[in-house]
Amino acid sequence: MSSLVGTAALVRLALRRDRIILAVFIVILVVMVAASASATVKLYPDNASRVKTAAAINSATSTLALYGPIHDVTSIGALATFKVGMMGAVAVALLALFVVVRHTRSEEETGRLELLGATVVGRRAPLTAALLVAGGASIVAGVGTALGLIAVGMPVAGSVLMGLGYACLGIAFAAVAGVTAQLSRSARTAAGLAGVVLGASYLMRAIGDASAGNGLGWASWLSPVGWWQQTRPFAGDRWWVLALLLGVAVAVSALAYVLATRRDFAAGLLPDRPGPATAAASLRSPLALAWRLKRGALLAWAAAFVVVGLVVGGLTSSVSSFLTSPQAKDIFTMLGGEQSIRDAFLAVELGMAGVIASVYGVQAAMRLRSQETALHAEPVLATAVGRVKWAWSHLTIALAGSALLLVVVGVSAGLVSAVQVGDIGQFGRILVAALVQIPAVWLIIGIVAAAFGLVPRLIVLGWVALAGFVLLGEFGALFNLSQVIMDISPFAHVPRMPGGDFSVAPMLWLTAIAAGLIVIGLAGFRRRDVG
Amino acid sequence: MDAAVVIEKLSKSFGSTRALDGLDLEVKVGEVHGLLGPNGAGKTTTLRVLLGLLRADSGVVRLLGGDPWRDVGRLHRRLAYVPGEVTLWPNLTGGEVIDLLGRLRGGLDKKRRADLLERFELDPTKKARAYSKGNRQKVALVAALSSDVELLLLDEPTAGLDPLKDEVFRECIVELREQGRTALLSSHILSEVEALADRVTIIRDGRTVEVGSLAEMRHLARVTISADLAGAPDGLTTMPGVHNLRVDGNHVDFMVDPDSLDQVLITLTSVGVTSLTSQPPTLEELFLRHYGDERSTAHAEQAVTP
């Protein structure tokens, strides 16, 4: 197979480049899964409390949509991993798709693969090496997870199935990224497309799991993430579902190879069309340039947020359909009736929308650094444009874009929910609940701006901060962290709406801190060297 | 004001690497000034300091009478820059990039833009990612040359251009000098600097090693002489100022320091000269004289090491 020659060398190169990030990622994943499983078990010492909790989880649309149901309310393992299991699965899928894009299309786009391709490297070697590294990383993550769960006392069979599920899901999304890397000439778009596939899979599973009572349970079976959920570790251990994931991985990889051999080096599947010979009259400021560079991605994000809003809004009516068991009915009454449960569901989902809007905000703000390192900032800064004006242009898109996403999700969820519930007041309540997320998102963008100005090489701190805040919110209570530590996360200060009390104070000071961080970042950027 | 650029004792370090180490540079208004140096000498760093992209550690830097770090907006309206490594936004067309950069600078001459596109044979409708290295370079050149600025900062501007476009570039530089504009041309292509520059600054390891017009530099450098003599060149071997002497019967080849030239010629004519050719030093020889030192010293050391 001469088309595979050089694969081993490319695998070694990829491992050399990624050894630290892969190791850190996998260790954090394994520790999080094992530690949170162990901590959850301690929270519920006896069987009765576990069953009660599991029943409550299964009756809340919010948890069903986010994490899926607990298929066996008596299983300690299923309860211990219901939340961290799903988060870990998404994390492994993300890892796999980023690794593949990083070692295929990114290398091609930057021209580094050209340098390698001229050596003894076969046509199929780069894709193969990327798939091997991503698949290998998924397997290591899976094995580590299984060992970690066994180590904290989880049943062996379920632990192994959980680990294998991670490995297979990772391999499947590596294959998906293998395909998207062939489609677009831009690594950013390739990763984005693979992310859309992951997001859609998650959403289908959320619809299926949350609307099983309405006969939509089949939607989970259209989704690889749903298949992972349907392996039901610790709650029936359905090993055969893994075959579905592997089957798709093989089929999709085959497609990736077909596409890869049909296109030219550095080309996408669509040829480049000629563009305008002169710039539009509006393209005359750094902001216009930033908008031009980012508008496509922002519109795609906005479209995704419309879909998320429609799904979340649509699910509000199915909130009461799960109330079949007596325990659930008790909890239902205890929580204050239908409106209250619906509100709790919306608050959780819109909080999640805030986190995802932060993901947009962080990557949009980090474009500052990538524009700088790609030497795209230099020609602009050599014109009459000042540094602050240039940096502010990209921050404007990040700030306004993330706010726009939350408006979009609020409007679409509000409209659907208002129709379903038959109450026009619902629209305003949901829109406000979406908008209160904005200051927290801006604060995280502020962190990116400050890192860009003061410690540009550590710009990745933006992602670290966002991941840290999410973990604090999800698992802080589980690990008994003090409120002071939990309050580090800006999301902890967002009013829980709808349902909760609106208070303007946290909105104001979150925004003030965001503004302060941005000012610090811009001031730092004015003082430092560019490049 | 008669200097477009004044740099005195400029130093700049990146961590422990000393990129510029007391560099001096003066570019007069209306001249084309060559900044010559090998890779890593500090040419790009110097230009980036002049653009206010890098902050000088110490030293004086004046650009068009202003401070390049502070007066960015005001100064940059009056200059155009061609970076050493041209990277363009992949999804913008060349035409869009030219217009954008021109507008950000404060406007560009549409007629000249069209004229330059034609002369450089650049298709402005192509997406930047589809351009070759040379075509990306043309985009940067057209963007810089089609504006009406006083000063051009050009960092190895002909990298990747074919010889015909190289010639177009040279014509453009000659034209802008006729218009009274100033250019600082960083390069390691000697023929280019030799053809275009009024004066040259040679730098090495972040320091200025030689400044002046090429005529002045030639004056300082050794002349190569090749001669057939009537008899044996006895006196020549011991004469001060004579270097690299090779004697082949009555034929001699050697280099001579300019201030010993007179004495050497007297010696030669006293023996009797049947034919003589002399060559002024080329820029290559000037260049090698400064950059070759280290290498020849290293060779010499190697030679004595047993």
Same domain, A264 and A340: no
Residue A56, domain member (yes or no): no
Nearest to B69 by CA among A529, A449, A394, A452: A529
B46 compared with A496, residue with greater pLDDT: B46
Q: Phi then psi for A296, rounded to 5 degrees? A: -60, -50
Chain B contact set for A385 (CB, 8 A): 73, 76, 104
Q: Among B85, B124, B129, select the one facing A375 at the smallest CB separation.
A: B85
How many whole angstroms from its chain centre is CA B176? 17
Residue A65, domain member (yes or no): no
Task: Give the B window 203-222 contacts with A, CB below 8 Å.
Answer: none
Spatial distance between the Cα atoms of A402 and A181, rounded to a whole number of angstroms: 26
In the predicted model, what is the mean pLDDT of chain A?
90
B29 compared with A326, residue with greater pLDDT: B29
pLDDT of the residue at A337: 66
Residues of chain B with CATH 3.30.70.260: 222-280
- Give the total residue count for chain A: 531
Q: How far is A196 from chain B (nearest CA, A)?
A: 21
User: What kind of fold does domain B3-217 have according to CATH?
Assistant: Rossmann fold (3.40.50)
Same domain, A329 and A444: yes
Spatial distance between the Cα atoms of A377 and A289, rounded to a whole number of angstroms: 11
Same domain, A403 and A487: yes
Residue A188, domain member (yes or no): yes
Same domain, A427 and A466: yes
Nearest to B143 by CA among B107, B174, B186, B90: B107
pLDDT in tens, A219-261: 999 999 999 999 999 999 999 999 999 999 999 999 999 998 8
pLDDT in tens, A39-48: 888 888 888 8
Q: How far is B131 from chain A (nearest CA, A)?
A: 11
Chain A contact set for B129 (CB, 8 A): 185, 272
Q: How far is A329 from chain B (nearest CA, A)?
A: 57
Closest residue in B to A527 (Cα) is B55
Q: How far is A378 from chain B (nearest CA, A)?
A: 8
Q: Among B53, B92, B97, select the one facing A529 at the smallest CB separation.
A: B53
Closest residue in B to A389 (Cα) is B73
- Residues paired with B11 in a beta bridge: B21, B58
Same domain, A362 and A226: no
H or E segment and range at residue A327: helix A326-335
Q: Decide: residue A46, CB within 10 A, 0-12 exposed, 13-18 middle, 19+ buried.
A: exposed
Q: Among B95, B105, B126, select the one facing A279 at the smallest CB separation.
A: B95
Report the residue of B14, B46, B47, B96 to disrupt the A interface, i.e. the one with the largest count of A CBs within 10 Å: B96
CB spacing of B87 vs A384 below 8 angstroms:
no
Range of the domain at A224: 1-28+86-268
Same domain, A437 and A488: yes
* Of the residues A203, A234, A268, the one at which a domain ends: A268
Same domain, A243 and A292: no
Report the residue of A383, A389, A525 to disrupt the B interface, i.e. the one with the largest count of B CBs within 10 Å: A383
Q: How far is A278 from chain B (nearest CA, A)?
A: 5
Q: Decide: residue B118, CB within 10 A, 0-12 exposed, 13-18 middle, 19+ buried.
A: exposed
pLDDT in tens, A380-413: 999 999 999 999 999 999 999 999 999 999 999 9
Q: Does B118 touch chain A (CB under 8 A)?
A: no
Same domain, A106 and A226: yes
How many whole angstroms from its chain centre is CA B88? 25
Residue A52, domain member (yes or no): no
pLDDT in tens, A283-337: 999 999 999 999 999 999 999 999 999 988 888 776 655 555 566 666 656 656 6
Spatial distance between the Cα atoms of A472 and A488, rounded to a whole number of angstroms: 8
* Of the residues A245, A268, A291, the one at which a domain ends: A268
Say how many domains are in chain A.
2
CB spacing of B93 vs A530 below 8 angstroms:
no
pLDDT in tens, B204-260: 889 998 888 877 777 667 788 899 988 888 778 788 888 888 888 889 998 888 888
Closest residue in B to A292 (Cα) is B92
Spatial distance between the Cα atoms of A423 and B276, rounded to a whole number of angstroms: 107
Same domain, A116 and A242: yes
Spatial distance between the Cα atoms of B231 and A453, rounded to a whole number of angstroms: 75
Q: How far is A436 from chain B (nearest CA, A)?
A: 35
Classify A416 as helix, strand or coil. Answer: helix
Q: Which two tokens stand for residue A346?
A: 């919306």
Q: Among B91, B105, B153, select the one facing A384 at the smallest CB separation.
A: B105
Query: Would you tell me how many other CB atoms lie within 10 Å of the CB of residue A152?
Result: 16
Residues of chain B with CATH 3.40.50.300: 3-217
* Of the residues A236, A268, A300, the one at which a domain ends: A268
Residue A147 pLDDT greater than 80, yes or no? yes
Report the residue of B11, B14, B89, B100 to disrupt the A interface, i.e. the one with the largest count of A CBs within 10 Å: B100
Q: Catalogue the E-assigned strands of chain B.
A: 3-14, 17-28, 32-36, 58-63, 79-82, 151-155, 182-187, 199-204, 207-213, 223-229, 242-248, 251-256, 273-279
Quick check: ipTM above 0.85?
no
Residue A71, domain member (yes or no): no
Q: Does A271 touch chain B (CB under 8 A)?
A: no
Closest residue in A to B117 (Cα) is A277
CB spacing of B72 vs A386 below 8 angstroms:
yes
In this prediction the pTM is 0.84
CA torsion sign for B71, B72, B77, B78 is positive
Residue A278, domain member (yes or no): no
Nearest to B200 by CA among B89, B261, B283, B124: B283
Q: Which two tokens stand for residue B133?
A: 């290295």
Residue A461 pLDDT greater than 60, yes or no? yes
Q: What is the mean pLDDT of residues B88-106?
A: 92
Strand B58-63 versus strand B182-187 pairing type = unpaired
Q: How far is B296 from chain A (nearest CA, A)?
A: 33
pLDDT-derived band at A163, boundaries 50, 70, 90: very high
Q: How far is B145 from chain A (nearest CA, A)?
A: 13
Place of tokens 């491992």: A15
pLDDT in tens, A92-126: 999 999 999 999 998 888 888 888 777 778 888 99
Place of tokens 């190169």: A13
Query: Which H, E and C letters describe B56-69, residue by residue?
Result: CCEEEEEECCECCC
Query: Would you tell me how many other CB atoms lie within 10 Å of the CB of residue A294?
Result: 19
Q: Does A277 touch chain B (CB under 8 A)?
A: yes
Q: What is the mean pLDDT of residues B272-283?
A: 81
pLDDT-derived band at B298, boundaries 50, 70, 90: very low
Chain A contact set for B104 (CB, 8 A): 284-286, 380, 383-385
Chain A contact set for B87 (CB, 8 A): 374-376
Closest residue in B to A381 (Cα) is B53
| DSSP label of B258 | G
Greatest alpha-carbon span in chain A: 73
| DSSP label of A66 | H
Spatial distance between the Cα atoms of A269 and B218, rounded to a whole number of angstroms: 58
Buried b (16+ CB within 10 A) or exposed e, B181-207: bbbbbbbbbbebbbebbebbbbbbbbb
pLDDT of the residue at A273: 79
Closest residue in A to B56 (Cα) is A529
Q: What is the mean pLDDT of residues A434-457?
A: 96
Q: What is the mean pLDDT of residues A139-157?
A: 96
In the predicted model, what is the mean pLDDT of chain B?
87
- Let me know the angle formed at the C-alpha of A60 by A54 and A63, rounded to the nearest 5 degrees: 80
Q: Among B74, B93, B105, select the one facing A383 at the smallest CB separation.
A: B105
Q: How far is A456 from chain B (nearest CA, A)?
A: 15
Q: What is the mean pLDDT of residues A469-496?
A: 90
Collect all residues with Cβ–Cβ distance below 8 Å to A130 and sequence separation of at least 6: A14, A99, A100, A102, A103, A104, A174, A178, A181
Q: Does B72 touch chain A (CB under 8 A)?
A: yes
Same domain, A475 and A524: yes
C-alpha distance from residue A234 to each of A85, A90, A217, A243 (Å):
11, 19, 20, 18
Spatial distance between the Cα atoms of B208 and B266, rounded to a whole number of angstroms: 36
Task: Give the A window 351-390 contacts with B, CB below 8 Å.
Answer: 374-376, 378-387
Report the residue of B17, B72, B118, B125 to disrupt the A interface, i.e. the one with the largest count of A CBs within 10 Å: B72
Q: What is the mean pLDDT of residues A69-73?
A: 91
Closest residue in B to A386 (Cα) is B73
Q: Does A282 touch chain B (CB under 8 A)?
A: no
Query: Which H, E and C letters describe A157-169, residue by residue?
Result: HHHHHHHHHHHHH
Q: Does B76 touch chain A (CB under 8 A)?
A: yes
Same domain, A250 and A288: no
pLDDT of the residue at B300: 38
pLDDT-derived band at B295, boundaries 50, 70, 90: very low
Q: Does B38 touch chain A (CB under 8 A)?
A: no
Q: Among B85, B106, B127, select the one facing A384 at the smallest CB separation.
A: B106
Residue A274, domain member (yes or no): no
Do residues A198 and A93 lie in contact, with contact meaning Cβ atoms separated by under 8 Å? yes
C-alpha distance from residue A433 to each of A73, A169, A469, A513 (Å):
32, 34, 20, 21
One of 3.90.79.10, 3.40.50.10890, 3.40.50.510, 3.30.70.260 is the CATH number of B222-280, namely: 3.30.70.260
Q: Does B126 touch chain A (CB under 8 A)?
A: yes
Nearest to A210 by CA among A417, A56, A61: A61
Closest residue in B to A296 (Cα) is B91
Chain B contact set for A457 (CB, 8 A): none
Closest residue in B to A185 (Cα) is B129
